[in-house]
A and B are shown apart, each in its own frame.
Chain A
Amino acid sequence: MAEARIAVRHFNARLWLSGAWLLIALLAAIFAPLVAPQDPLAQDLMLERLPPFWLQSAEPGYWLGTDSLGRDLLSRLIYGGRIAFIVAFVAASVACLVGSALGLVAGYFGGWADRIVSRIVDIWMAFPPVLFAILLIAVFGTGLGSVIIAIAVIDWTRFCRVVRAEAMAQARMDYVESARIAGFSRIGIMLREVLPNVLPSIIALLSLEMGIAVIVEAILSFVNLSISTDDPTWGGIIAEGRLSIHQAWWVLVFPLITLFLTVLSFSQFGEGLKARLDPVLR
């Protein structure tokens, strides 16, 4: 009993900490024009490579320093968060909807539906994901929409596999049989009985996928295949920071920390939420 209580408190801590970071980052991104201390695109060669605030020769108002063109790093990170969150929410949601729907049908109905979906997933997963993304962007052209499509197209299989396995396990439960005897249709049972039991896993995975989408977007920005280079993106800033690592380490380190905390928070938030939503663990 005592162990269970400790476990619950532990889950809560990670739920709240990760939730707090995500909320701060999200609010900063939404209200970027109000929050950002400087214009993220304003270049000033007089202010190039200013160090972060605690070092000597730092300028007030440029808290995390500036890059080699004199642009404010904190402001760029805040604006970069906009792209990161848009990609995270939209791409992960699309992947989740497509993957979960197919997984649910395959897992619950089995038979031919399962065979067809599973083969598609197998074939899909044989493509190396980053190369696949680069290929897709080569086809669609760069831009926010292309990045979102690329991530959704690649990662729906993740949802599909997990939801299929869970739906399969649930479909074997006696309560599904009872619902059949009570006269419910197969689709009705799938949505009313099976889906709610798979939902905690879907939500955990959705949150995890948002973190993955943030990383993929950063990778694509890093290789300059995301959106136009004018808009700051975390991956883009990291790419620039890499070039000036010896003169201005902060341009590389701060976006990496931001990326790391955000991705970690997404995955921890998902796990915490799952523990909260699961009626048996709750």
Chain B
Amino acid sequence: MTACLEIAGLSATLANGVRVLRDVSLTVQPGEVRALVGESGAGKSMIGKAVLGVLPPSVHVIEGHIRLEGADLLALPAKERRTLVGAKTALIPQDPLTALNPSRRIGPQMTDRLTKILGWSGEKAEARIRQLLDEVQIRDPARVVASYPHELSGGMRQRALIAAAFAAEPRLIVADEPTTALDVTVQKQTLKLIAAMQRERGTAILFVTHDLGVVAKISQKVTVLYAGEVVEEADTAALFADPRHAYTRALMRATPRYTDPQASLQPVDDAVLAELAAEIATADRQWRRPHG
């Protein structure tokens, strides 16, 4: 079976030569949710952007492959790649406010992709969006479609964006911290909604997050990232039962637990970070040698 998404040996640098991704490999099987965890700056969003082809101009992929259902994205001409990525993937963004154009109504923004990439007619796209809005439990789809983004609450906006992401039946969704910008009360509902829609359709999701609580709820597989390097990869259940890497264990101790609110949070141990830094320095040296 071809993997839905296969990233192999992906490395990327900034213009000044600093590596932001170090030999990252991960796969997402069809219908699977893979969580990508790490602290801010670990490069987890960068991987999502690389898949979608929207890396900032300052970041350059220097080696590796990104295969979407077998097609090597980095080898494709820009236009073909855009069409393929547009047809087969979708993004659930982090901040539902900035992800919507403030001066355009929600409806046209949601149908854009359907008409542009999939070549649907306007009516067909609109009907589809209404149906999806219904499915994400938005009570008055007609009103939402005619609203400007600022007229809706954050939770409503995020649900509309989730509807838009699932509308074209993508094979893969990149969810870039989709609950981080929301109120805690809305976070749980949103997560449940994504999980339910995903299960129903069997969409593969690359779920970028820094929240291990979210990982436990939604994903089957986890990849832990530190400073652009994969430090651990496992089934979610296995990872929580038996974290192998010292950094993963440290990360878990740094997560608040509702079951034990008295327990104080443990910051990641300096010794662990020092060890990681040494590991990365070695990797960088080895990497530089063959590349000059």
User: Which residues in A have some Cβ–Cβ distance to B below 8 Å?
Assistant: 110-111, 173-175, 177-184, 193, 196-197, 199, 279-280
Contact = CB atoms under 8 A, between A and B. Distances in A.
Tell me what chain A mostly uses at the interface: helix, strand, loop, or mixed.
helix
A196 B91 contact: no
A179 B109 CA distance: 9
Contacts of B53: 180-181
Interface in B81-106: 82-83, 85-86, 89-91, 93-95, 98-104
A177 B104 CA distance: 15
A123 to B, nearest CB: 26
A174 B94 contact: yes
A279 B83 contact: no
A162 to B, nearest CB: 17
Interface stretch (B22-30, B111-119, B265-273, B283-291): B111-119
Q: Which 7 A-B pairs have the closest CB atoms?
A: A174-B99, A182-B113, A183-B86, A196-B103, A175-B101, A174-B98, A173-B98
B54 interface: yes
B292 interface: no
A281 B126 CA distance: 28
A179 B91 contact: no
Nearest to A196: B103
B102 A279 contact: yes
Chain B interface size range: 20 to 34
Given A181-B52, A279-B148, 8 more contacts: A175-B109, A178-B99, A180-B82, A181-B90, A182-B117, A196-B103, A280-B102, A280-B150
Contacts of B109: 175
A174 B104 contact: no
A179 to B, nearest CB: 7
Interface string B22-54: 000000000000000000000000000000111
6 contacts: A175-B99, A179-B112, A181-B91, A182-B112, A183-B113, A193-B104
A111 to B, nearest CB: 7
Nearest to B117: A183
B17 interface: no
Contacts of A173: 98-99, 101
Contacts of B85: 181
Contact of B150 (A111, A175, A196, A279): A279
Contacts of A111: 57
Nearest to B174: A181
A179 B95 CA distance: 15
B54 A183 contact: no
Nearest to A110: B57
Nearest to A111: B57
A175 B100 contact: yes
Given A111-B57, A177-B54, A183 B116 contact: yes
B262 to A, nearest CB: 39
A197 B116 contact: no
A197 B102 CA distance: 7
Contacts of B112: 179, 182, 184
